[in-house]
Amino acid sequence: MTRIEQNRQIALRKLFGARNLPFPHGVTSVCSAHPLVIEAALRRAGMEHRAVLIEATCNQVNQEGGYTAMTPVDFRRLIEDVAAATDFPAERIILGGDHLGPNPWKKLAAEEAMQRAMAMVTAYVEAGFEKIHLDTSMGCAGEPTALDDELTAARATRLAKAAEEAALRSGRRPPVYIIGTEVPPPGGATHALEDIEITRADAAMKTLAVHRASFAEVGLTSAMGRVIGIVVQPGVEFGNTDVALYKPERAKSLIRSLDDMPGLVFEAHSTDYQPAGALSALVDGGFAILKVGPGLTFALREALYGLDAITDVLAGRMPRTGLVTTMEKIMVEQPASWAGHYRGSPDEQRLQRHFSYSDRIRYYWPDPRASAAVGELFSRLPDEIPETLISQYLGRLYSDVVSKRVAPKARELCLAAIDAVLAPYSAATAIR
């Protein structure tokens, strides 16, 4: 057995805890709060008799509500409600917190931001989240944009201490941890992509060493034993209009460093839009946790817009895409979630608002007007949508529809579109 295989088994055993399930080759981390995405993930995990890892980010879900207006307890209830509706066993759900740290409050003074970050980590652990990514790399008011390794580790240690105390108080299972912060910008890059700098092997080793020393200083040896992975940059990223594909040969030195990190795996962020072969190569190289999020809602948006065009054809007119009009109105009225990410002329920005790989439109689906527009869209469609229109506007789903693997119904088509993105992740991480 290779070191990568040994590390994988040790790390996943800690992640799975008492769950009596076969250990897969890797794990897909589904990073989304959209109910249809969650349902699609649970359906696939149920079909394959696997556990499912679903993660919320610090900006998305926190003790103050985040942009979804959900606390960690609210998010857990959402997942459990969808699981109950799909007959998925709740005990096979693993919840994670991604990028937990002061980022939502980085405009505040460091101590105030850290106090809120500790409260957030406490709320996550008390709500039963079992996997915690400690991300304290960002500077707060008056600090450099990125902090040095030692200060980053010291702040991560404070968060870990808060998490350990919360688990003890609440009787929850102590969480496993992910450390490291060399990740693409949240939501993807905002510039054209060229060659991305791969995390150096010595940088990954230093991340581990400084965290180990910092944890030891405050008696968190047990918690350090539950660190299962490090976030590194293997050379994958996506921007608004392009995707940097994984090239295994560029990450050889980084992969070899796992030989000196017993029991640890790498966690790869922003793997959205990578081809199936790249996902498999990542897992084979020790990147056992693959995070995906915007790519799932991107597929959902494609399906919704295709269905919207179909309603117009069925009504006897060429597509005018009423849902697109509604979403454009909402985004123009509330530009905060896209304005700092999309460049160019007004026409270029309009295209990016709807069709960017960054998928900033995902922040607007929870808006009541958007939810109502999707509901109204579904109500305009017939119980069974003609196969020829599915071929025209939802071509990627056509073969599954005609072969009767997917019903020609609006909701089922949306779920199938999301599942088509999840499928290569499932194949890359499957039990072997």
The parent domain of residue 310 ranges over 297-417
Has residue 427 been placed in a domain?
no
**Residues 158 and 45: beta-carbon distance below 8 Å:** no
Q: Are residues 119 and 260 in the same domain?
A: yes
Has residue 212 been placed in a domain?
yes
Q: Which residues pair with 100 in a beta bridge?
A: 134
Measured distance CA(187)–CA(31) in Å, rounded: 11
**Torsion sign, CA atoms 213, 218, 224, 230:** negative
Q: Which of 270, 292, 314 lies at the terminal end of a domain, its last residue?
A: 292
User: At which residue do the structure tokens 């399930």 appear?
Assistant: 21
Measured distance CA(88)–CA(86) in Å, rounded: 5
Q: Which of 237, 263, 292 lies at the terminal end of a domain, its last residue?
A: 292
Q: Determine the Cα angle at 32 with ends 27 and 37, to 5°.
A: 90
Beta strand pairing status for 131-134 and 93-100?
A: parallel
CATH of the domain at 389: 1.10.400.20
pTM of the model: 0.94
- The runs of H, that is alpha helices, within 104-200 are 110-126, 149-170
Measured distance CA(56)–CA(76) in Å, rounded: 10
Q: Are residues 231 and 377 in the same domain?
A: no
Q: Which of 259, 292, 325 lies at the terminal end of a domain, its last residue?
A: 292
Q: Are residues 288 and 306 in the same domain?
A: no
pLDDT at 194: 67
Q: Are residues 202 and 261 in the same domain?
A: yes
pLDDT at 190: 52
Low-confidence ranges of the chain (pLDDT < 50): none
Q: Are residues 286 and 307 in the same domain?
A: no
Q: Are residues 244 and 301 in the same domain?
A: no
Has residue 431 been placed in a domain?
no
Q: Are residues 260 and 130 in the same domain?
A: yes
pLDDT at 313: 86
Q: Is 285 helix (H, G, I), strand (E, B) or coil?
A: coil
CATH of the domain at 228: 3.20.20.70
Measured distance CA(421)–CA(272) in Å, rounded: 9
Has residue 422 been placed in a domain?
no
Q: In three state form, how does the secondary structure of 400-430 look?
A: HHHCCCCCCCHHHHHHHHHHHHHHHHHHHHC
Rounded to the nearest integer, the mean pLDDT of the chain is 95
Q: Are residues 252 and 211 in the same domain?
A: yes
Has residue 180 been placed in a domain?
yes
**Residues 6 and 260: beta-carbon distance below 8 Å:** no
**Torsion sign, CA atoms 273, 324, 34, 185:** positive
Beta strand pairing status for 176-179 and 131-134?
A: parallel
Q: Are residues 157 and 207 in the same domain?
A: yes
Measured distance CA(114)–CA(261) in Å, rounded: 29
Q: Are residues 22 and 110 in the same domain?
A: yes
Beta strand pairing status for 243-244 and 237-238?
A: antiparallel
pLDDT at 432: 85
Which of 319, 263, 309, 326 is closest to 413 using CA atoms?
Answer: 309
Q: CA dist 289 to 63, 93, 96, Å?
A: 26, 15, 12
pLDDT at 318: 67
Residue type, 143: E
Q: Are residues 121 and 249 in the same domain?
A: yes
Residues 61-91 as b or e (16 or more Cβ within 10 Å = b): bbbeebbbebbbebbbebbeebbeeeebeee
Has residue 426 been placed in a domain?
no
Q: Are residues 266 and 350 in the same domain?
A: no
Beta strand pairing status for 93-100 and 176-179?
A: unpaired
> How many domains does the chain contain in total?
2
